[in-house]
């Protein structure tokens, strides 16, 4: 199984802590390394990292990390990292022959959350999104979260930062098929900006966007100094040996 990790954006709210969001350390380890280690623990054998802002620095780090962890890590640089994140998904997905685990570089996940997500694929879904039904989770920034509305079968009916009503929050982890990138391209052709959520909505409208409820599994979006402080405190309790391996 391949993984695609989106690591192209600027990360303006973390700029005071680090010039590169994916290289920002949590408990002494860059977030991109934590994400790759957790993906490996879940069964991933190859990783594509989409780079953009500070691409040279990130790619140099990844080259050394690939040797240390003995896993293939392939950078896919986007020419304009200021574009919506759907462009990064298309760039990364193009490097994968089949289905792949899609992660955001600034999100942290327990291993079991990813293992559960990877077990969900079937012929009735073009993408599966990990969702948290705990919409009042104190670790979630309501002003930055992507919200999800689902139907009785757990299929996505609406997704976005400003939708209402909603019944779940997007955790930032997906089991994607090649049809996700195609849906993003279709949304762009129809005049949408090209976000990942734009493509997800295309698939949702076809009832091809499914969900995986994470239950009590731990995850965090480390997007600002407040979240970073919380991650430094909580990550050791939930990520185990991922933070201590050499």
- Per-residue model confidence as pLDDT tens digits over 62-82: 999 999 999 999 999 999 999
CA distances to 177, 181, 217 from 2, in Å:
11, 15, 22
CATH of the domain at 125: 3.90.550.10
Confirm if 225 and 213 have CB atoms less than 8 A apart: no
Beta strand extents in 52-99 (DSSP E only): 72-77
> How remote is the C-alpha of 223 from its chain's centroid?
13
> What range does the domain containing 16 cover?
2-243
The model's pTM: 0.97
**pLDDT score for 107:** 97
**pLDDT score for 245:** 67
**pLDDT score for 241:** 73
Q: What residues pair up with 33 in beta bridges, in sequence order? A: none
Q: Which residue do the tokens 């959520």 mark?
A: 197
Report percent pLDDT > 90 for the chain: 93
Q: What residues pair up with 50 in beta bridges, in sequence order? A: 6, 76
Q: For the ranges 9-18, 34-43, 97-106, 113-122, which has the lowest average pLDDT?
A: 9-18
Number of domains in the chain: 1
Q: Which residue do the tokens 């600002």 mark?
A: 224
Residue-wise over 199-216: b if at least 16 C-beta within 10 A, else e? bbbbbbeeebbbbbebee
Band (pLDDT 50/70/90 cuts) for residue 220 is very high
Rg (CA), the chain: 17
Residue partners of 206: CB distance under 8 A and separation at least 6: 126
Helix (H) or strand (E) holding 86: helix 85-93
CA pair distance 117, 131, nearest whole angstrom: 10
């Amino acid at each position: 199984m391949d993984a695609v990790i989106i690591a192209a954006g600027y990360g303006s709210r973390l700029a005071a802590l680090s010039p590169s969001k994916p290289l920002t350390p949590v408990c002494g380890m860059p977030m991109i390394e934590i994400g790759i280690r957790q993906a490996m623990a879940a069964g991933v054998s190859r990783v594509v990292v989409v780079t953009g802002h500070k691409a040279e620095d990130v790619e140099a780090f990844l080259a050394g990390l690939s040797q240390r962890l003995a896993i293939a890590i392939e950078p896919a640089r986007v020419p304009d990292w200021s574009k919506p994140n759907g462009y990064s998904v298309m760039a990364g997905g193009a490097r994968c022959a089949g289905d792949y685990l899609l992660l955001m570089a600034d999100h942290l996940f327990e291993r079991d959350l990813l293992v559960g997500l990877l077990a969900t694929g079937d012929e009735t879904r073009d993408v599966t999104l990990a969702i948290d039904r705990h919409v009042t989770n104190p670790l979630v920034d309501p002003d930055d979260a992507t919200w999800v509305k689902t139907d009785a079968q757990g299929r996505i009916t609406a997704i976005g930062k400003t939708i209402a009503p909603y019944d779940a929050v997007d955790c930032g982890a997906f089991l994607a098929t090649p049809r996700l990138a195609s849906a993003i391209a279709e949304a762009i052709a129809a005049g949408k900006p090209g976000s990942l959520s734009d493509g997800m909505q295309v698939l949702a409208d076809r009832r091809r966007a499914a969900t995986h409820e994470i239950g009590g599994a731990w995850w965090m979006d480390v997007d600002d100094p407040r979240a970073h402080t919380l991650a430094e405190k909580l990550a050791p309790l939930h990520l185990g040996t991922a933070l201590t391996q050499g």
